[in-house]
Structure 1
Amino acid sequence: MDREVDFRAVFKALAAPLLVLTPDFVMLAANDSFLKLTGGSEADLVGRSFFIVFPSNPNAPDNPNEEGAEALRASLARVLATGERDYMALQRYDIEVSGRPGVYEERYWSTINVPVLGPDGKVKLIVLRTEDVTEFLRQLKRSGEGGVTGAQAELEAMRSDVYVRARELHDLNERLQRTHRQQRETMSALQAAFERQRRFVFDASHDLRSPITGLLTELEVAISEPDSDPHQILRKLMLGCERLNDIVADLLELARLDAATPVATELVDLADLVMDELERRTLTTTVAAQLDQRVLVCASRIRLVRLLNNLLANAERHTRTTIDIVVAADPPDAVLEVIDNGPGIAPADRERVFERLLRLDDAYRQDPGGSGLGLPIAREIAQSYGGHLYAADHPTGARFVLRLPLAA
């Protein structure tokens, strides 16, 4: 037969002294063992801040090793930050003797703080479990009474040494755990970087092979068919060389961005930049520009031109009739938007389009020779100047938004 478990009664009856805290260290519940150990009552504790009821050790000697409440606060903070249980070193916290106000008894504690996670993985509660180990330390002292001369002093020193060494071991264990976490994070980052580099080299080699194969094919045709039109062959070879040059230029730009190669910066007016590029480029579609003046950023003009041209090339490839360009100030950011009225980008793909060498099916149909590097390069240029480039919602077509810090 199924029986409903009264978990509150179970909690109250557990032998281990337990206290339940909120993330801001307000006491929610204490079991009977904890109340007996500390000499308090639920009315004294529940609903109150732990560090108001239990401030710094009220009877601590002038000893720099006595951290008391600060050590516990640091342990609870680690639990909140990591979502993992935290084992504290032995702590001294004296308890007022029952019926003797102002008289405190020396006590030592071994404490574990355990997180209770919510469905979102965040710490919702902290269970503090503590054990009074004072008797164990006193036993070392008592066992030496009545023994050989000097034994009692030696055992007293041993008692103090156990306390100090326990704290030292705890500190060493914490340092080892931090080092281990850092090593794991470093190893994961190195493995991820190696995998990205391996995929990049493979994909780049594949993209380079296509124009090279095209060039070789045209040369073979020219050799095998002497009567073929040399002008037409040279034109195809020129297009293949331009394609190859574009890919190499993209790869070199990515290498410079990855290496954080410094480039001279200047004040750039985004409206002037857009107008200059529109006059220089020959676009196959209509462009409508809405440009606010004096929207200034501090960056490399050459790299911003590269970013803008990559966005324009992408929009020209996908638009049906018109490309809209908007420049405006939205403090603290300068904003540049390039919008087309093509098929748009599915929400699930709006981050994927910035992956290196990734080409969606629609992009591949529009331009089989594309490298899939234009948008990733544009985003990395934006990030190199403390900005962000992203694909945003738009009723029709794709909308790319560049945000850069406004120049002071």
Structure 2
Amino acid sequence: MGRWVDYEVVFKTCPAPLLILTPDFVMVAANDAYLKVAKRTLQDVLGRYLFTVFPPNPHMPNDPETQGVEVLRASLEHAMATGQPDCMPMQRYDVEVVGRPGMFEERYWNTVNTPILGVGGAVEWIMLSIEDVTDFVRAMRRTPRAAHGKLAQRQGVDVDLYSSARELHILSEQLKQAQSQHREITSTLQEAIRRQRQLVFDVSHDLRNPITGLLTELEVALSEPAIDLQQILRNLLRDAERLNEIVADVLDLARVDSVPPGTELVDMGRLVAEELQRRIPAAGIHTRLDQGVVVRASRIRLARLLGNLLANAERHTSTTIEIIVTTRPSEAVLEVIDDGPGIPRADRERVFERLYRLEDARSRDPGGSGLGLPIARGIAQAYGGRLYAADHPAGARLVLRLPLYRPVHQAAT
């Protein structure tokens, strides 16, 4: 059986200078090696904010070559955000000469900031491990002239590791950012390709049903001369209309994914009233339409959005549909509410996925494409708005919010 390890003693006597911080950058522990190189006592650091005890170089705070505090803060925040150690570039931070107040000695440091994670994965502590590399920097600055004499002097050779390290750190950070952006772009492209492939597959499946119906009806008409042609034609017309609806939905998706058309001022209450006059309602409709609820968008697109919401409500409602147009601070709000079975909370986002349909929708309308709500949301987002399913005691409640148009003189007040 191994001996118990006294980690406090190990930490205290470790030859590497170590400092422990809270996530708020309050110092809670420092070993002897750290106190020695930092020229501080334990009482100087415990319980105190790191950047109060170690402010920017006090004798030259505005020197761009001595802004190690800002770099240190950025490194600590990066280590906390990623949960991974962060190696800082070499930094200059001068220390006060013992016994000579106001006199500072030039010092260079290498620092590694290591987050210490708790049981839940959150950062509980940060460990700073530092190394004084001043002697190394000074030696490297002297070496070229000593080794090459007058030739080195003529060529102006002066190895400045500090500046080089800063430049290398900047380039490294830029490379990390570029790699992160590349990963995001690649991920986005892969997701777009996956969605496009899934869309082609699902639309092809939906197109097959009416096409199969058309072929079957034509085969029957050709094989049975005495068949009722009127009934055959009605069936053919129904399947052709279904094909037309699917193609129209796919074209609308393509338009939504492209650049939005020109905009105009649209009164939402008037739009709803006019569109209802064009429809033959499949259920009782009650409206509460405020006046002067104006947005800047495409009237044609908003009419399509409203039509899709009404079609969805008609598909699910039992008796009535309620349409509300009102305003909230800086937003125009359109609500379409039905008294059907409602949308389960777990499916409130999924109904906006392309070609996703609830079981209730499939049973009530097997011919639905599952593209109506995704098209509606795409239109809302194209004009800086949002469309979502909200809570309601009975039935489904779909809410559209768009930026409310305000004339320039009103916005100024």
The normalised TM-score by structure 2 is 0.88
Match of 1:349 in 2: 347
Partner of 2:163: 164
Which residue is 1:75 aligned to? 75
Contact 1:116/1:123 (8 A) holds in 2: yes
- Look up the match of 1:17: 17
Given the superposition, is the C-alpha separation of residues 3 and 397 from structure 1 closer, same or farther in structure 2, using an over 3 Å criterion?
farther
More displaced stretch, 161-170 vs 273-282? 161-170
Contact 1:137 1:159 in 2 (8 A): no
Taking a change above 3 Å as real, the CA distance of residues 152 and 34 of structure 1, as seen in their structure-2 partners, is farther
- CA displacement, residues 351-380 of structure 1 (integer Å, 9 cap, x when unaligned): 111110112222111111111100100111
Instruction: Map 1:278-289 onto structure 2 (within 5 A).
Output: 278-289=276-287
Partner of 1:33: 33
> Which of 371-380 and 35-44 deviates more?
35-44
Query: 27-36 vs 56-65, which deviates more?
Result: 56-65
Shift of 1:115: 2.8
Query: Residues 13 and 159 of structure 1: is their aligned pair in 2 closer, same or farther, counting only changes over 3 Å?
Result: farther
Q: Is the 8 A contact 1:144 1:151 kept in 2?
A: no
Task: Write the distance in 1 (CA, Å) between the matches of 2:180 and 2:46.
Answer: 36
CA change 1:288–1:149 in 2 (3 A) is closer
Would the aligned equivalents of 1:78 and 1:86 in 2 still touch at CA under 8 Å?
yes
Task: Please say if residues 17 and 32 of structure 1, whose CA atoms lie closer than 8 Å, have aligned partners that are also in contact.
Answer: yes
- Paired residue for 2:368? 370
SS at match of 1:314: helix
1:325-364 equivalence runs, <5 A: 325-364=323-362
Shift of 1:29: 3.2
Q: Does 1:208 align with 2:207?
A: yes
C-alpha distance in structure 2 between counterparts of 1:85 and 1:158, whole Å: 35
Distance 1:109 1:267 in 2: 62
CA distance 1:360–1:9, shift in 2 (3 Å): farther
Aligned position for 1:237:
236
1: CA distance between counterparts of 2:350 and 2:86?
39
Amino acid of the structure 1 residue aligned with 2:205: H
Aligned counterparts, 1:6-405, within 5 A: 10-59=10-59, 64-117=64-117, 123-140=123-140, 150=149, 160-260=159-259, 262-405=260-403
CA offsets 1:86-123 (integer angstroms, 9 cap, x no match): 21111111111222211212211001122344666554
3-state secondary structure, aligned to 2:286: strand
Distance 2:231 2:389 in 1: 40
Question: 3-state SS of the aligned residue for 1:65?
Answer: helix
Paired residues, number: 404
- How far off its partner does 1:163 sit? 3.0
Contact 1:315 1:338 (8 Å CA) reproduced = yes
Report the identity percentage: 60
Provide the rounded CA distance (Å) in 2 between the counterparts of 1:405 and 1:119. 44
| Residue range with higher mean Cα deviation, 62-71 or 189-198 | 62-71
Q: 1:338 to 1:14 in 2, by over 3 A?
A: farther
Q: CA-atom RMSD, angstroms?
A: 2.8
Q: Partners of 1:151 and 1:8 in 2: how far apart?
A: 54
Contact 2:335 2:397 in 1 (8 A): yes
Post-superposition Cα deviations, 1:209-242, rounded to whole Å, max 9, x if no partner, equal 2111111111111111222222222121111111
Asked whether the 8 Å contact 2:356–2:370 carries over to 1, the reply is: yes
Q: CA deviation at 1:20?
A: 3.0
In the TM superposition, what is the alpha-carbon distance from 1:196 to its structure 2 partner? 1.0
Q: Secondary structure at the match of 2:65?
A: coil
8 Å contact from structure 1 (residues 115, 126) kept in 2? yes
**Partner residue in 1 for 2:411:** none
1:272 and 1:148 mapped to 2: Cα distance? 87
SS at match of 1:383: helix
User: Partners of 2:113 and 2:385 in 1: how far apart?
Assistant: 41
1:329 to 1:114, Cα distance in 2 relative to 1, 3 A: same
SS state at 1:136 partner: helix
Moved more, 93-102 or 179-188: 179-188
Following superposition, the deviation at residue 312 of structure 1 comes to 0.9
CA 1:120–1:323: 2 relative to 1, 3 Å: farther
Q: Does the 8 Å contact 2:285/2:323 carry over to 1?
A: yes
* Alpha-carbon distance change, 199 to 141 in structure 1, aligned in 2, over 3 angstroms: closer
The residue identity in structure 2 corresponding to 1:271 is G
The one-letter code sitting in structure 1 at the alignment partner of 2:321 is I
Per the TM alignment, residue 79 of structure 1 is displaced from its structure 2 partner at its CA by 3.1
**Counterpart AA for 2:316:** H
Change (3 A) 1:5 1:267: farther
How far off its partner does 1:407 sit?
A: 0.9
Contact preservation (8 Å) 2:141, 2:159: no
Distance 1:331 1:100, change over 3 A: same
Distance 1:396 1:220, change over 3 A: same
Instruction: Report the counterpart of residue 409 of structure 2 in structure 1.
Output: none
Length-normalised TM-score, structure 1 = 0.89
Letter in 1 for 2:346: A
Cα contact 1:75–1:88 (8 A) shared by 2 = yes
**Take 1:321 and 1:167, find their aligned partners in 2: how far apart are those partners?**
71
